[in-house]
Amino acid sequence: MNADLLHVCLNVADVDASVAWYVEQLGFEETWGFESGETANRYVADQAGIELQLSETEGVTPTDDGDRWDHLAVGVEDVDRAFDEIENHGVVQKPADNDAAGARTAFIEDPDGHVVELVQPLD
């Protein structure tokens, strides 16, 4: 199976300020976003198209390294097949459609407990 790096998700205290910093200071481009409950997700991309997902949850201020890092996302052809085939070290979320993000996703853990999101577009 082959996977492509799509994005890294960072938890932030102020998504507007974070987007502005990546755009103004690093020349990234804001690409898209969506809200899920009390969490606002906005994406910025570098010139190669690799994205950062900046995620702000109302009332939560990330303070520790474990709070600021969220997950690494990789694109796969078939989330369900990848979920079944990959030797994971913990299941965070089984495959499910995320209509707001336009993707079928699953979340697993790598050998060190880092969360890896498997992403397949819904279209």
For residue 60, the one-letter residue type is: V
pLDDT digits (tens, 9 = 90+) for 71-85: 999 999 999 999 999
Does the pTM surpass 0.85? The reply is: no
Q: How far apart are CA 28 and CA 30, in angstroms?
A: 7
Q: What's residue 110's pLDDT?
A: 85
Q: What's residue 63's pLDDT?
A: 80
Q: How far apart are CA 110 and CA 86, in angstroms?
A: 10
Domain architecture of the chain: domains with CATH: 4-121 (3.10.180.10)
- For residue 18 the two structure tokens come to 């974070």
Q: How far apart are CA 87 and CA 102, in angstroms?
A: 26
Q: How far apart are CA 72 and CA 81, in angstroms?
A: 19
Q: What's residue 57's pLDDT?
A: 94
Report whether pLDDT(93) > 90: yes
pLDDT digits (tens, 9 = 90+) for 23-68: 988 889 999 999 999 999 999 998 889 999 999 999 988 887 777 8
CA angle 99, 105, 106 (to 5 degrees): 145
Q: What's residue 85's pLDDT?
A: 92
